[in-house]
Amino acid sequence: MSRKSERQRKRPRRFIEEEKDLDEEPSSSGVAPSKQKQVSAVQTSVMEKSFSQGQTCRQLDQTSGNLIRWKTTEDPDVVPQQPRFIPKRTPGVQPPLHCGNPSAGEIFSHFFDADVLKMLCTNTNKNAARNLQRGRRFEWEELTPVDIQKYLGLLLYMAILRLPKISDFWRTKTIFQTPFPASIMSRNQFYAISANIHMSDPDEDVENDKKKGSESYDCLHRVRPFLEMMRIRTMSLYHPSQNISVDERMVATKARLGIKQYMRDKPTKWGLKFFVLADVNGYTIDFKLYTGKSNVASGNGLSFDVVTSLINKDYLGSGYIIYCDNFYTSPLLFHHLGQQGFGACGTYKQGRAGVPSTQENALTKKSPRGSIRWIRDGDLLFVKWMDTREVSILSNIHTVYTGDTV
């Protein structure tokens, strides 16, 4: 047995077939050239598919035979086409709060307006009636919107003035007594409202609980009406300027909830995690409470789905520039945002799909602070900048170097 046949016997079948194709000599009948045309056509389709899926520049260049290298600030760069800023509304505070200098109470009343108060009254009264039918003992009077306003005011008051126990706010036989809460409502009424406050229809709660364990079950059903009403009001009372950002925000809680998250790098480690769309001044434009794995995922990853769900062109308009951190940034997302008429910029992780993997002329640990390397792939600009460590940035609106200093 020859060495070649022994090697073929030990190797997998697909490698043997590849060797047979390589060993074939071109014939005068034109069989080999036809195979070459088929291979070139396959390579072309692979290049197009890999570009649409966001494969790295290095892989695409190897297909064409040219190796991409990181460029420096001395190499010329093109100025990408800037998105035209066309907001749906005039950026800033919207009517009726745009005139004058409204008080804090007036601003609060536009978020907790008559519709919100009515929803809280209706559902809380229904829940209290159901609890009374179950045999629970407490004094109850039909709630009105004024009662809900007083209750919310006391909650804000207690958040500012901290006492060891809630009952301490109604103590009278002490020099540290606080007469204000007792002048608003009695302690028993406050306890009764706290035990029965409800944001959803109790009858609909029963139907939703029957779906527990199925994909149609909504774990946020009991707070969903309130969350949606707050979303609508945050979006209607303000329109953002051109520069906006997507990030996470933690809301601290000690409740035992399955959706509670831990984030090591946040000041609030444990709590409810919200994905938020925020203006440059910090105003929350839109938000989304994270409840775990979604049943309607697009297949492009959580970070892609979060950004595309928060960036609503019908509400915002076009030409906005979205800034984000390396959890969200990806070539696939930025290419999608560019097609929608949005600019995007953010730091990225080196291992993310579509990011250049070449080390040709790349930064090293010995590169001086301020060194820049970059690669442009169509409308996407990959930049590496050396600070105390290497910082990687992706943008679809910036040129690599303008000469400006900070």
Per-residue confidence band for 174, with pLDDT thresholds at 50, 70 and 90: confident
Sequence-separated (6 or more) residues with CB below 8 Å from residue 101? none
Q: Identify the CA nearest to 324 among candidates 207, 244, 232.
A: 244
Question: How many DSSP H helices and E strands does the chain contain?
Answer: 14, 13
Give per-residue pLDDT as tens, 20-77.
Answer: 343 444 443 444 444 444 434 434 343 344 444 444 444 444 433 345 889 988 888 8
CB of 276 within 8 A of CB of 249?
yes
Which two tokens mark 282? 């910090």
Percent of the chain with pLDDT over 90: 64
- pLDDT score of 339 more than 90: yes
More confident residue, 298 or 212: 212
CA distances from 99 to 92, 233, 241 (A): 11, 18, 18
The span from the CA of 246 to the CA of 330, in Å, is: 14
Give per-residue pLDDT as tens, 236-264.
Answer: 999 999 999 999 999 999 888 889 999 98
Residue type, 102: P
The angle formed by the CA atoms of residues 31, 35 and 41, to the nearest 5 degrees, is: 145
CB of 335 within 8 A of CB of 396?
yes
Per-residue confidence band for 404, with pLDDT thresholds at 50, 70 and 90: low
- pLDDT score of 332 more than 60: yes
Strand partners, 374: 71, 383
Q: How far is CA 319 from the centre of its chain?
A: 19
The span from the CA of 274 to the CA of 23, in Å, is: 60
Which two tokens mark 386? 């050396």
Where are the domains positioned within the chain? 1-25+32-46, 103-209, 237-395
Q: Residue 30's pLDDT is what? A: 41
Q: Residue 300's pLDDT is what? A: 87
E strand map for 60-203: 86-87, 92-93
The span from the CA of 119 to the CA of 232, in Å, is: 15
With tokens 């006391």, the residue in question is 154
- pLDDT score of 403 more than 80: no
The span from the CA of 75 to the CA of 400, in Å, is: 10
- pLDDT score of 14 more than 50: no
The span from the CA of 325 to the CA of 333, in Å, is: 13
Q: Rounded mean pLDDT of 217-231?
A: 94
Per-residue confidence band for 304, with pLDDT thresholds at 50, 70 and 90: very high
Q: Rounded mean pLDDT of 313-340?
A: 95
- pLDDT score of 186 more than 70: yes
Residue type, 189: Q
- pLDDT score of 99 more than 90: no
DSSP string for residues in 265-328: TSSS-EEEEEEEEEETTS-EEEEEE--SS-TT--SS-HHHHHHHHH--HHHHEE--EEEE-TTT
The CA-based dihedral angle spanning residues 359, 360, 361, 362, taken in that order and rounded to the nearest 10 degrees: -10
- pLDDT score of 337 more than 80: yes
Give per-residue pLDDT as tens, 343-375.
Answer: 999 999 988 888 998 888 888 888 999 899 999
Q: Residue 210's pLDDT is what? A: 92
- pLDDT score of 175 more than 50: yes
Q: Identify the CA nearest to 275 among candidates 300, 254, 294.
A: 294
Q: Rounded mean pLDDT of 80-93?
A: 93
Q: Residue 107's pLDDT is what? A: 95
Give per-residue pLDDT as tens, 103-126.
Answer: 999 999 999 999 999 999 999 999
Q: Residue 402's pLDDT is what? A: 75
Total residues belonging to the chain: 406
The span from the CA of 168 to the CA of 162, in Å, is: 10
Q: Residue 405's pLDDT is what? A: 59
State the first-to-last Cα distance of the chain, in angstroms, to the nearest integer: 73
Q: Rounded mean pLDDT of 121-133?
A: 96
Q: Taking the model in full, what pTM does it have?
A: 0.79
